[in-house]
Structure 1
């Protein structure tokens, strides 16, 4: 932090050379600390000194774990499109990140139960070009794989931003960072790499049918290419369609996508999602004696889906699909996949989460155990595994509290920005967290000065302590509950004339409405809180940390739901500051 220097005037002659050396050695603030060179960068920067998120879901209260059990989902909140790979006894898992920055969170485990986040695959602007990307643009469906022939990890994905398209990055060690992107010369989405026993490599991906051959809306194909490991590029002319439409094109299946290729007992297995990412989502599998086909579907597809089950089932998990398989530490196969847990209003505020199920591969085809039945809340742990979730750096599971006083040298990895690096507007230290406001607001498709934590429960509370003095009506700081740039709540402090106001604004489809306001005294820190019970959200504040006062009554969480706002992300809880405030309190 930049500090003002106090002291008595100097009363002895100073040479020009001394002055040059003296000022050159002063600790100047970094670019990440300064956003307005004409003023002290912290004049309008809120100070956040405490954050607590607490999950309170009934399903976990009523289903406590036994010693040999663990909860699924294993990653709660917006962690969709999981992909997993293994090197020895180390497992690595990645997820889609869209316009979040940094991108593609990466997790490590030794046992598929206890997971630690070890960083992000795309953690710098040279890798992630999402500055002008909508919330559900950016990074789609990353695939992580390990090639034992050259001892290299690969992450291949589609980046809908920056003119990149399909791309690959690689590393010898996921803990030591990843290369800059290599743009790949093919269209379509959802690419995945496969490394055969003989050292050959292939890419499979979703694509459109040949021009003029599309039979219906949602008709897609799966293609395969030979992949040149020396050049990190597909081999021109080697492409072939290996699945047309899906399991049975006569039934007009839609959106065959998310392909993964495996080899077992000398045969090649192609597993794909089918049915779109909503309530018709499923996972299907094919087999061939050659990686380029022909592929035959399993006689009993899908091998994973919840679409055929009663809509009113208890503890409903829906939209299951987009899976990846791995052999577990006990020699048994497991599959990670996405699913959603709707609230009582059938809203999807926590977004697509990462689930896991054991897979029975005792026959010709893999089958998710219980994958066609109502999804269980908890599972039996692999033999010999001890549940350590929430301890010693392992991510928590079930109902839990996340507390941050922001006094560490680095941010917790669970905090994310949108469209730009967090370092451009945040600084942590002994005082807490400073957010230097940018001249953009939450409605814009631009980098915003907001730090986000995922909503991970249907029932939760999130409380932050903030000290803030807005300099003008263009300044605002507080919290936001965000689904995307056109669907969100803002709950914060701003100024009108000489008075300070706490305001609550709701934005739906880009149309904003001031729900409530209250004139307040900002001479001391304030605690802002958002809490939810399913679809019922409340925004409250307190000056003593105990007696919270609601502002605006109960409001609907509908605008924070994927099925209402559209797109692919879940709701985010943000610590927010702006110098482009557009919320104007009404005159008292």
Structure 2
């Protein structure tokens, strides 16, 4: 078992064994969730303008696109656990969001190449309650499905916060919002819903083995329930185990999860992830004559993995799995799945990203085309499709620049909060983006007054201009590079005595160290910048928005990786303000 896989197992085991504690905490009255979110009593409120994020990865520079090609992944940065569905010519894709707010980003496409974000599924406080949840809690493995029999879309997921557990929300139109969550009466994680030709519905999910029957660490099962569409609830007593352990339990497979049922040519197919979400990750498939089994594994599993190749291969893509299938506009099947692209030190800072591959389903079982060889950065487009990524409102990929002058009344959907709703601390003014500080700092597991953008490249530069006058030593504002509440960099402006200082602080395992500080003239707005070349990060500043000076030298991005910080998210770049500065 490789080191990365072991880390995945430990993380997953920690996740499951923590659920009881999390649900107990989440169900307590939120006595301070709102009261704590007060503006700085001193009135120190920063205004941010001219945010520019620019990626410059070698792989894109060395692999320019031809007219009939597009880049893989289709969603760069922390967009893991993708699920996809189709209604007519419209495709909808969702991803995990953990304790990011709003929850469950949702994308729309007509061709599987060009995607635009239409918002978030869980975009109201009644749907998402992650105020006391760690960054890697919250929303896991959402699945989106369209039911043609009642013309309704369903999103089913596990919310590890707020006392929710497994939930489902519905809508007739994904562009117009979703219902409040309906709590589902079963345990386990990674639920998926399936609608049969006869109008019946079923739910499958990952669960623990029956009590006393666990054979090894990572032993899990897949369960199926019949589902009552009128009551929107599983039918009690209909559950049964359809996969025990995985493809071959004698080999002690770990973490069979993320199940989906499909129907093709009268047969039922169960596709699952197996091997944990790290280096042994894979996708496997089973077949049955009934949605409730028994299911028989394909003779040539896995159908997707990157685990068999040299760890030193160039342009490495790894951890591939957690897939979902859909029929494409050209009649071929395609699968979306997560994978990672580590940096030169094999660390994962950009998180688990959304990839796509065609799937050959001309035989009995589907197989991902080129999913069992080292993955390439480019794909051929479906016939008749034109690549419009990065233009006409479609999401960019490859090397791109994202600029936001904060001149629109509505913030771009790529801006998110962590445990806090943007509306609670952000205001767009004529002067720029105003962040009203909470009396909470970024190291607390509480709502924080920070607006985040995902790191989407190994090599990038992010720059923002800030106009800010801290009133007391409790005030700080600036930028942060954030993997979690316990692993982050804070680069901000603060006051000490009658002077103003720019400070750089590194927090690892909750322990903070000041790496550098410098007295600053704040008579004019200051431009703050973070740049990364793989694992090497540098924090710079400019007083004239042209000439940049470095503070703190080159620092390691190790704490911004899941390898060091743990968890399931990618690094975030934040515009941060607090009236509870502890530096």
TM over 0.5: yes
Q: 1:503 & 1:109 partners in 2: Cα distance? A: 43
Quick check: 1:102–1:416 contact (8 Å CA) kept in 2?
Answer: yes
Q: 1:255 to 1:410 in 2, by over 3 A?
A: same
Q: 1:36 to 1:269 in 2, by over 3 A?
A: closer
The equivalent residue for 1:373 is 373
Quick check: 1:468–1:525 contact (8 Å CA) kept in 2?
Answer: yes
The equivalent residue for 2:258 is 258
Matches within 5 A, 1:20-99: 43-99=43-99
**How far off is 1:545 after superposition?**
1.4
Q: 2:427 & 2:434 partners in 1: Cα distance? A: 5
Quick check: 2:216–2:252 contact (8 Å CA) kept in 1?
Answer: yes
Q: 1:36 & 1:286 partners in 2: Cα distance? A: 53
The equivalent residue for 1:312 is 312
The equivalent residue for 2:242 is 242
1:270-311 deviations in Å (ceiling 9; x for gaps): 000000000000000000010011100000000000011111
Quick check: 1:46–1:468 contact (8 Å CA) kept in 2?
Answer: yes
Quick check: 2:348–2:563 contact (8 Å CA) kept in 1?
Answer: yes
The equivalent residue for 1:26 is none
Counterpart check, 1:555 vs 2:578: no
The equivalent residue for 1:25 is none
Counterpart check, 1:140 vs 2:140: yes
1:361-411 deviations in Å (ceiling 9; x for gaps): 000000000001001100000000000001111000100000001010110
The equivalent residue for 1:204 is 204
The equivalent residue for 1:448 is 448
The equivalent residue for 2:347 is 347
**How far off is 1:67 after superposition?**
0.1
The equivalent residue for 1:575 is 575
The equivalent residue for 1:19 is none
Secondary structure at the aligned position of 2:504 is classed as: strand
The equivalent residue for 2:323 is 323
Q: 1:35 & 1:253 partners in 2: Cα distance? A: 46
Q: 1:544 & 1:402 partners in 2: Cα distance? A: 22
Quick check: 1:35–1:436 contact (8 Å CA) kept in 2?
Answer: no
1:505-552 deviations in Å (ceiling 9; x for gaps): 000010100000000011101000000000000000001112110000
Quick check: 2:350–2:456 contact (8 Å CA) kept in 1?
Answer: yes
**How far off is 1:39 after superposition?**
5.6
Q: 1:294 & 1:238 partners in 2: Cα distance? A: 15
Counterpart check, 1:395 vs 2:395: yes
Q: 1:544 & 1:315 partners in 2: Cα distance? A: 38
Secondary structure at the aligned position of 2:423 is classed as: helix
The equivalent residue for 2:163 is 163
**How far off is 1:35 after superposition?**
6.3
Quick check: 2:81–2:323 contact (8 Å CA) kept in 1?
Answer: yes
Quick check: 1:84–1:143 contact (8 Å CA) kept in 2?
Answer: yes
The equivalent residue for 1:23 is none
Quick check: 2:38–2:437 contact (8 Å CA) kept in 1?
Answer: no
Q: 1:349 & 1:36 partners in 2: Cα distance? A: 32
Quick check: 2:285–2:302 contact (8 Å CA) kept in 1?
Answer: yes
Counterpart check, 1:278 vs 2:281: no
The equivalent residue for 2:25 is none
Secondary structure at the aligned position of 2:343 is classed as: coil
Q: 1:37 to 1:62 in 2, by over 3 A?
A: closer
If the length of structure 2 is used for normalisation, what is the TM-score? Answer: 0.93
The equivalent residue for 1:565 is 565
Gaps of 5+ in 1: 1-31, 584-588
**How far off is 1:50 after superposition?**
1.0
Q: 2:563 & 2:208 partners in 1: Cα distance? A: 25
**How far off is 1:453 after superposition?**
0.2
The equivalent residue for 1:413 is 413
Q: 1:582 & 1:550 partners in 2: Cα distance? A: 23
**How far off is 1:37 after superposition?**
7.9
Bigger radius of gyration: 1
Aligned residue pairs total 549
1:21-62 deviations in Å (ceiling 9; x for gaps): xxxxxxxxxxx9x9658968xx31100011000000000000
Secondary structure at the aligned position of 2:336 is classed as: strand
Q: 1:47 to 1:200 in 2, by over 3 A?
A: same
Q: 2:226 & 2:356 partners in 1: Cα distance? A: 31
Gaps of 5+ in 2: 1-33
Q: 1:202 & 1:376 partners in 2: Cα distance? A: 36
Q: 1:38 & 1:576 partners in 2: Cα distance? A: 13
Secondary structure at the aligned position of 1:559 is classed as: helix
RMSD: 1.1
Q: 1:128 & 1:164 partners in 2: Cα distance? A: 9
**How far off is 1:233 after superposition?**
0.2
Q: 2:39 & 2:85 partners in 1: Cα distance? A: 47
Q: 1:143 & 1:442 partners in 2: Cα distance? A: 31
